[in-house]
Amino acid sequence: SCLQLGLERFHGVCILGFNSAEWFIADIGAILAGGLAVGIYTTNSPEACHYVAENCSANILVVEDHTQLKKILEIQHKLPHLKAVIQYGEELKEKRPNLYSWKEFMDLGEDVPDSQLREIIESQKPNQCCTLIYTSGTTGHPKGVMLSHDNLTWTSLAAGRFIALTDATEKQDLVVSYLPLSHVAAQMSDIWLSITFGAQVFFAQPDALKGTLVDTLREVRPTAFLGVPRVWEKMEEKMKSVGAKSSTLKRKVASWAKGVGLQTNLKWMNGYSEVPVNFRLARHLVYKKVRKAIGLDRCTKCYSGAAPITRETLEFFLSLNIPLYELYGMSECSGPHTVSLPQAFKLTSCGKEITGCRTLIHKPDGDGTGEICFSGRHIFMGYLNMEEKTKEAIDEDGWLHSGDLGKCDKDGFLYITGRIKELIITAGGENVPPVPIEDAVKEAVPIVSNAMLVGDKAKFLAMLLTLKCIVNAETGEPGDDLTPEAVEYCQKLGSKATKVSEIISSKDKAVYAAIQAAITEVNKRAVSNAQKVQKWVILEKDFSLFGGELGPTMKLKRAVVAQKYKDQIEEFYAD
């Protein structure tokens, strides 16, 4: 069908929509027809869509519904290579030249002889580009990461074997597709690993990340599941709020079981193998029920990736006998580079490198921490039409520089300590990685949803805080009402507040004192005075995809927040 519409070799087929079978078919069809498969985030503005479509010289655009189509119609006149637009998720509202429904698009292929397609497939080489992943750069335009056929096929086979996925001929794995397919993590896990090992893929609802994901998990009961940290944190919050409402006896049993779960799992992590009696009892009374409630009762492989996850969340799930296996990588290495395994697992480590992948710690300091660099067959071809940027990423010896700081322990486990660009360098010249301090504050104050440390080139550190509030399920916009758990927390402190605005406008004594006390506690553990948080402010709105402060995988966009709240940040340093 792509060929019939005049798709030219190495021209883009852009796909703009939520995960679906049509997304997979368009992606794979584009590749086999000799084009480039290009995902566009559904949250992109018309301008951002235009940038990607123009950058990859798109011939064809595949959109889900009228909402996405409207973005394309706005920019269509500025896309000289565009030949056709296809809409798959709903019936067309109007006829337009070169606009096709999914059925019309499928029918076009009837007239193309198989021999023509076979000829194109046979002319393709393993080292040629077949997919573009646009990475949301923190600065400037996104860069088109060029991945070859070999990048995708080698990585999916190497990663799948490393984590011991079963071939469908023996036992079929079941997975849920819900993370954006324009991101490398979902593309590798949902499309390429599933094809390589014959896994069965179920598609979640488009509002999965706004709360319906657990319903899908309960229905599907997947055997493997990849969650981003925000997904695991949301589950943790929900489970804690349900737990808080149960009877005293149930709470005592759960608390006992969590203690047993954490102790036993930590012992296993350090090489013990026995299964204690109290653990068996706890499994029967608590763990099995918890897994069933969140749809993970058949799931032997729970992964977390795409952003750093807190130790608190890892320990919470470990205490319920749900070890979260962290994995680490980037678009530029076709997705994964290191993975944790049941038999090779250390809390807070991203695991060991996949067989065939190599790691170098560049310019390590006295502590062994330096920039993490990769090499292997999973390394990308370069950025599309950006030779300078490619040279910055891959050095003369072929090492890909990740921009992440980390170290390896004596057993070959990799630990990430932060991003080089994220490092706050104070006026006194001290390097401060923000994430550990932000995590410590979030752990110390249960009412805090997001925390962002600031203080680059400044005399001291300060922090922006947001509170846990109820989110509009339709739009994803955070509201003013506190979540039930947050209200309960306020009551315990002796505050009557139910809204974020009430806390801020009255400078609620109880809440402000509790936050200050927690920050003082965190400061006591600081490595040096330069790493202490001196001032803080509560923002009126929580961070969200809707507001632009979080990226598609819920990663904090620091530059956006710094720009949006620059007045509040300047206030810290005014006197």
Q: What is the pLDDT of residue 324?
A: 97
Residue 180 and residue 113 in one domain: no
Query: pLDDT per residue over 193-231, tens digit each?
Result: 999 999 999 999 998 888 899 999 999 999 999 999 889
Q: Where residue 26 sits, what CATH number does that domain have?
A: 3.40.50.980
Instruction: Assess if residue 102 is contained within a domain.
Output: yes
| Statement to judge: residues 116 and 250 lie in one domain | no
pTM of the model: 0.85
**Is the pLDDT assigned to residue 138 strictly greater than 60?**
no
42 and 187 assigned to the same domain: no
Same domain flag for 313 and 437: no
Q: Are residues 77 and 185 in the same domain?
A: no
The pLDDT, as a whole number, for residue 136 is: 67
Whether 139 has a pLDDT exceeding 70, the answer reads no
pLDDT class of 553 with cuts at 50, 70, 90: confident
Query: pLDDT at residue 28 above 90?
Result: yes
pLDDT tens for residues 419-471? Answer: 888 888 888 888 888 998 999 999 999 999 999 999 998 999 999 999 999 99
Does 44 fall in a domain? yes
Is residue 324 within 8 Å of 302, Cβ to Cβ? Answer: yes
Which pLDDT belongs to residue 530? 87
If you average pLDDT over residues 474-499, what whole number do you get? 93
pLDDT of 445: 94
What confidence category does residue 551 fall into, taking pLDDT thresholds of 50, 70 and 90? confident
Q: Considering only CA atoms, which of 109, 106, 92 is closest in space to residue 22?
A: 106
When divided into structural domains, the chain yields a total of 3
Enumerate long-range contacts of 342-345, CB under 8 Å, 24 or more apart.
342/300, 344/413, 345/269
Same structural domain, 95 and 181: no
User: Is the confidence at residue 152, as pLDDT, over 70?
Assistant: yes
Q: What pLDDT, on the 0 to 100 scale, is given for residue 131?
A: 98
CATH number at residue 305: 3.40.50
Residues 1 and 120 both lie in one domain: yes
- Count of CA atoms in the C-beta half-sphere (13 A) of 404: 24
pLDDT at position 510, please? 95
pLDDT of the residue at 406: 95
Is a pLDDT exceeding 90 seen at residue 306? no
Mean pLDDT of the chain: 93
Residue, of 307 and 492, whose pLDDT is higher:
492
**What is the rounded average pLDDT of the residues 53-63?**
97
Whether the pLDDT of residue 487 is over 70: the answer is yes
Give the lowest-confidence range in 202-211, 321-330, 371-380: 202-211
User: 225: buried, middle or exposed (CB in 10 Å: 19+, 13-18, 0-12)?
Assistant: buried
Domain assignment of residue 343, yes or no: no
User: What residue numbers bound the domain in which 212 lies?
Assistant: 163-322
* Same domain as 215, residue 71: no
Q: How long is the chain?
A: 575
Query: In terms of domains, do 307 and 448 share one?
Result: no
In the sheet that 414-419 helps form, which strands lie side by side, from edge to edge? 358-362, 370-375, 400-408, 414-419
pLDDT at 443: 93
- Judge whether 284 lies within some domain: yes
- The Cα 346–Cα 64 span in angstroms is 41
Identify whether residues 74 and 199 lie together within a single domain. Answer: no
Cα–Cα distance measured from residue 93 to residue 181, given in angstroms and rounded to the nearest whole number: 26
Residues 286 and 226 grouped into a single domain: yes
351 part of a folded domain: no
Residues 172 and 120 grouped into a single domain:
no
